[in-house]
Amino acid sequence: GEDVEQSLFLSVREGDSSVINCTYTDSSSTYLYWYKQEPGAGLQLLTYIFSNMDMKQDQRLTVLLNKKDKHLSLRIADTQTGDSAIYFCAESIARIQFYFGTGTSLTVIP
Amino acid sequence: KAGVTQTPRYLIKTRGQQVTLSCSPISGHRSVSWYQQTPGQGLQFLFEYFSETQRNKGNFPGRFSGRQFSNSRSEMNVSTLELGDSALYLCASSQIAYRYNEQFFGPGTRLTVL
């Protein structure tokens, strides 16, 4: 199966940390991704992690991967109003086919 | 480099009609994928083309078809439109890299079926 699941909504206050969670089912995934979609725009790649890694940090973004539980999370430190968007996690198998989650709509409250 | 472009950006059709959407990938990208995005369903994979060949297909009825031209531009066709086909259709292009395969998305075509 290629089910990728995310919670639909998350609200945080400006300056707090946001944590967006994702579970996937295919253990043969090679790469896992986080994409951001702003209103009226396509998806923009934020970060990715190779399946043999546990953690990746990129400025305010931290990705944690628990391969045993097939759980991926994205932490955004010091969340800003400009971070309000829909965040999608995705897995790729053999670098060809991508499976996306339903997306988590993040609302940052000033 | 210009990004992925999709035309038209908006379309309104009626049930039973057919529609063709176009996607121009980033120069040098040979892989083009199509997705359907609906609220609550996320992105559903339609198909992927590489060098004019369909390599992968999602779980959509035969009314959805596509093709890719020698210049890597791709078209997607939906015949006999249904109300449930109303969605944002996204195209993504990629260049197979040796480490990971980043997909670059276009802004999408918003299709409304009345």
pLDDT band at A81; cut points 50, 70, 90: very high
Residue B39: closest CA among chain A residues belongs to which residue? A102
DSSP secondary structure letters along A37-105: E-TTS-EEEEEEEETT-SEEEETTEEEEEETTTTEEEEEESS--GGG-EEEEEEEEETTTEEEE---EE
Q: What is the pLDDT along chain B (114 residues), one digit of tens a residue?
A: 679 999 999 999 999 999 999 999 999 999 999 999 987 778 898 999 998 999 888 889 999 999 999 999 999 999 999 999 999 999 999 887 545 667 889 999 999 999
pLDDT at B86: 96
pLDDT at A1: 43
**CB B4 to CB A42 under 8 A?**
yes
Residue B43: closest CA among chain A residues belongs to which residue? A100
- AA letter at A51: S
Reply yes or no on whether the pLDDT at A79 is more than 70: yes
Mean pLDDT along residues A82-108: 87
CA distance A102 to chain B (A): 4
pLDDT band at A91; cut points 50, 70, 90: confident
Nearest to A31 among B41, B100, B107 (CB): B100
pLDDT at B94: 87
| Residue B60 in contact with partner chain A when CB distance is under 8 A | no
Tell me the pLDDT of chain A averaged across its residues: 89
Reply yes or no on whether the pLDDT at A99 is more than 90: no
Contact A32, A49 (CB under 8 A): yes
**CA separation for the pair A85, A71 (Å, rounded):** 21
pLDDT at B99: 52
pLDDT at A28: 74
CA distance B7 to chain A (A): 13
pLDDT at B10: 96
pLDDT at B110: 95
